[in-house]
Chain A
Amino acid sequence: MLGLELYELPLFFALQGVALYAVLAGADFGAGIWQLLAGRGEQGRRIREHAHRSMAPVWEANHVWLIFVLVVVWTGYPLAFSSMASTLAVALTAAGLGIVLRGVAYALRSASAGDTELRAVDTLTAVGSVMAPFALAAAAGAIASQRVPVGNAAGELWSSWLNPTSIMAGVLALLASAYLAAVYLAADARRAGDEAMAALFRTRALVAGSVAGVAAIAGGLVVRSDARWIFDRLVDTPAVFSVGLSLLAGVGTLVLVLRWHLGAARVSAAVAVAALVGGWALAQNPLLLPGLTVREAAAPDNVQTLLVISILAGGLILFPSLALLFRLVLRGAFQAEPVIERGAPLTGPSSGLAATLTATRLAGACFAIGAIFLVLGDSAWPHAIGVAALGAFIVLGLSALAGEDSRE
């Protein structure tokens, strides 16, 4: 498939997951960063509110990409996964705690009222939104700079992810997240007809994009001196094409934002981030960790086959569902004025007393049958019958007790 070997396919899908996580969760974290920088007063409040509303319906789905990446890597490349997770324990703990802050802040916001509370909650979101992308990108920098050896916590717990390359990766991730978020929030505001907010985030996108561009070039120099191996491969074929595409898309996004083509800028900003992930993958290939190739790290072929089938089958459910969610969000369906439709006219309980009595008796009979088969049965078939009868008991019971008892 796609000219890839079977043993590479799960990694290929995992990298798609990394790119999607970087783009989608990156925009979410970026929105949190803009909440931190929103300033005080009425305008600050409106910026924070806009950042929250844009991300609220999608943030959970966006974060699941990280889980997807973890489970595919630990199934397809268990030795590499356990080496990475054990050496990068501190970085991953920091990332995990950042994600906890993000989620708890989201939950808290639904119950918060008043500007003081909302500001406190948004600050919590922002702290999480800085911790998580920084730590995750620093962990990626650790892998790229060959600081994660094979083995149980065989590398340095701290300096593996707090070194020039990792710190540069972390800072770049924060800037790229802010850039992505600003582009998306500008486009969202414009769609909602809030031109003032769109202009605010357009300016932020231009600033963040320019700073990110400068940081990327400076970062290149850092990597050149700190991790020469990966640098040489990043500027060599084939990785250089992907890295070049990333730079091109990054600059192109600036031009698009400048000309108010915000819809197109959404796409090109995503391409810039995804191409950078692709460039890193091409530069590392075929090495996953020092001395461990992708082929050596891969689980046996039959496991990889099952994993690929599962991913493809899961994708058949996932992508239409995601498309539905994003279509609703991008169409602004969730920000429209609520329409109160009445339910069906009052028909009263549809089942009479006689039907309820029958359901009650049938439920009792099912419980008795289920109990006999499940308790006295000693093999799979009687147990299956028992479970089915007990399931019927619950369903019949729910139907018999659906009505409202008028007396107290």
Chain B
Amino acid sequence: MFDPVQQSYLLEARQMQALSFAVHIPLVCFGIAFPAMVMRAEWLWMRTGDEVYRVLAMRWTKVMVALFACGVVTGTILSFEMGLLWPGFMGTFGAVFGLGFALEGFSFFVEAIFIGIYVYGWNRMSPRAHFISGIPIVVAGLTGSLFVISVNAWMNDPGGFTLTPDGTVTDIDPIEALFGNGHLAYQLIHMYLAGFIVAGFLVAAAYAVGRLRGRWGRYERIALTIPLTVAALAAPVQLLVGDWAAREVAKSQPTKLAALEGVGHTERGAPLHLLGWYSDGKVKAGIPIPKGLSLLAFHDPNAEVQGLDAVAAKDRPPVNVVRIAFQLMVAIGTFLAALSAWYLYARTRRKRVPSGVWFYRLLVVAGPASVVALISGWVTTEVGRQPWVVYEVMRTEAAVTAADGIAVGYGTLAAFFACLIAAVAWILRRLARAPMKTYEEPERALGEG
């Protein structure tokens, strides 16, 4: 009943989905990580009684709730698109992986309910009760990531079902499909850390801009160190987790690895190439590191690395897109880890935040760069899996809708998202410029006026 269709808009459908992810995922990072940062400020207030922390937590709460609202509605669009764009995927495999989203739905509920309580409960509940009302938001951020990533991990490593020769799915075991999956652990940790890195560097970058413009007092220093500390601890760990992820990909998705590294032909002792581009089966103008790839991916300088030529041309992903995205992610990740090391060194050895102007200039770059790395990472894994939507089981063209006019929907959505991004920028600017209430008379209430 869901035979593949000839869809002339397949590329538009994929771009529409990618655009929606690209808008939603940075907001997700704030959903995962920002509540924890706000609560760290609140906790410091409760512990020290120092009003500066409460003023900070309350101002951040306004930002948190505005970004959360945008995350809710862009997430709703994504869940619509699952059916609008990919009915073949949903119709065939909905019963296999759907449970992951059902569980995620409850995480989302908990998040939305307690964000309502936390935001509107400021100064209207006892400090302890208010702090406790924030904890479910942080927990739901983790469980929500777990359930969503379990579905993506299944798409990379599909199990928990049998496909009969006529294309029907039987012997479905959703638990095995979602949680018995070798990709879940590293994908979850990689994304969860990314949430803290992106939110942390973006918030810190905002205060770094302020410092470069001369806004630098005790309030600003505290507002910069809370997110930066979190991000700086996560970024070096992310490098190690990324290395683990690449080795798992090497094991179970050799074609994706070959695309990441531009390996045209299967070879032993494969070199690692930095920069350059892929053409005619090899990397041109790159800097080769002999045997580097075999060593990194398999811990053996002479290990055999499967090349793209191991599969038919129609089963290969677009190499340059995947490879450039991957290199960009790794380069930015390394930069962020180095900047983090600088910060951690200054804090632990010199007992102060770095004082050089260049640290803050680089921090301003680090904020947006972390978003670029985030999107590049998703391009790497999603485009790297092409032409499959379910790895080696269902091709993306078999999943797409037969409906016409995808290009019109894509254009409309892009216009709406452009407005949404402009709105977010305006909101953040406005909230940043709101006059600072004195520590003695905190803002009356959030969401009023």
Q: Are A82 and B83 in contact (CB under 8 A)?
A: yes
Q: Are B46 and A393 in contact (CB under 8 A)?
A: no
Contacting residues of chain A (310-367) with chain B, CB-CB under 8 angstroms: 310-311, 314, 317-318, 321-322, 324-325, 328, 333-334, 336, 338-350, 360, 367
A398 to B352: give the CA distance in the assembly, Å: 15
Query: Does A294 have its Cβ within 8 Å of any Cβ on chain B?
Result: no
Name the CB-closest residue of A to B446. Answer: A110
Q: Are A71 and B101 in contact (CB under 8 A)?
A: yes
Query: Does B122 have its Cβ within 8 Å of any Cβ on chain A?
Result: yes
Q: Are B65 and A370 in contact (CB under 8 A)?
A: no
Q: Are A74 and B426 in contact (CB under 8 A)?
A: no
Q: Are A108 and B124 in contact (CB under 8 A)?
A: no
Q: Are B84 and A375 in contact (CB under 8 A)?
A: no
Q: Which residues of A contact B448 (CB under 8 A)?
A: 53
Name the CB-closest residue of A to B96. Answer: A303
Query: Does A102 have its Cβ within 8 Å of any Cβ on chain B?
Result: yes
Binary A-proximity of B329-346 (CB < 8 A = 1, otherwise 0): 000000000000000100
Given A338-B444, A343-B45, the answer on whether A157 and B237 have CB atoms closer than 8 Å is no
Q: Are A104 and B70 in contact (CB under 8 A)?
A: yes
Q: For this complex, into which size category does the number of interface residues on chain A fall?
A: 35 or more
Q: Are B401 and A405 in contact (CB under 8 A)?
A: no
Most chain A beta carbons < 10 A, residue from B87, B351, B444: B87
Contacting residues of chain A (392-408) with chain B, CB-CB under 8 angstroms: 393-394, 397-398, 400-402, 404-405, 407-408
Q: Are B299 and A152 in contact (CB under 8 A)?
A: no
Query: Among the listed stretches A61-69, A162-170, A172-180, A197-205, which one makes contact with chain B, having 4 or more residues with CB under 8 Å of it?
Result: A61-69
Contacting residues of chain A (368-395) with chain B, CB-CB under 8 angstroms: 370-371, 374-376, 378, 380, 383, 386-387, 390, 393-394
Query: Does B347 have its Cβ within 8 Å of any Cβ on chain A?
Result: yes
Q: Are A150 and B1 in contact (CB under 8 A)?
A: yes
Q: Which residues of A contact B240 (CB under 8 A)?
A: 370-371, 374-375, 386, 390
Query: Does B445 have its Cβ within 8 Å of any Cβ on chain A?
Result: yes
Q: Are B72 and A84 in contact (CB under 8 A)?
A: no
A224 CB to nearest B CB, Å: 31
Given A61-B109, A83-B87, A339-B124, the answer on whether A71 and B79 have CB atoms closer than 8 Å is yes
Q: Which residues of A contact B127 (CB under 8 A)?
A: 341, 343
Query: Among the listed stretches B255-263, B367-375, B402-410, which one makes contact with chain A, having 4 or more residues with CB under 8 Å of it?
Result: B402-410
27 contacts between A and B (CB under 8 A): A57-B116, A61-B113, A64-B109, A67-B75, A67-B108, A68-B105, A79-B2, A86-B83, A86-B403, A104-B423, A108-B423, A108-B427, A111-B426, A153-B403, A300-B170, A300-B172, A303-B99, A303-B172, A303-B174, A306-B175, A328-B120, A343-B47, A343-B51, A375-B244, A398-B229, A404-B221, A405-B347
Residues on A lying within 8 angstroms of B by beta carbon are: 53, 56-58, 60-61, 63-64, 66-68, 70-72, 74-76, 78-79, 81-87, 89-90, 92-93, 95-97, 99-100, 102-104, 106-113, 150-154, 157, 299-300, 302-303, 306-307, 310-311, 314, 317-318, 321-322, 324-325, 328, 333-334, 336, 338-350, 360, 367, 370-371, 374-376, 378, 380, 383, 386-387, 390, 393-394, 397-398, 400-402, 404-405, 407-408
Given contacts A71-B102, A78-B94, A318-B106, 12 further A-B contacts (CB under 8 A): A64-B112, A93-B84, A104-B423, A299-B98, A314-B109, A338-B124, A343-B127, A347-B49, A378-B299, A383-B185, A405-B347, A408-B216
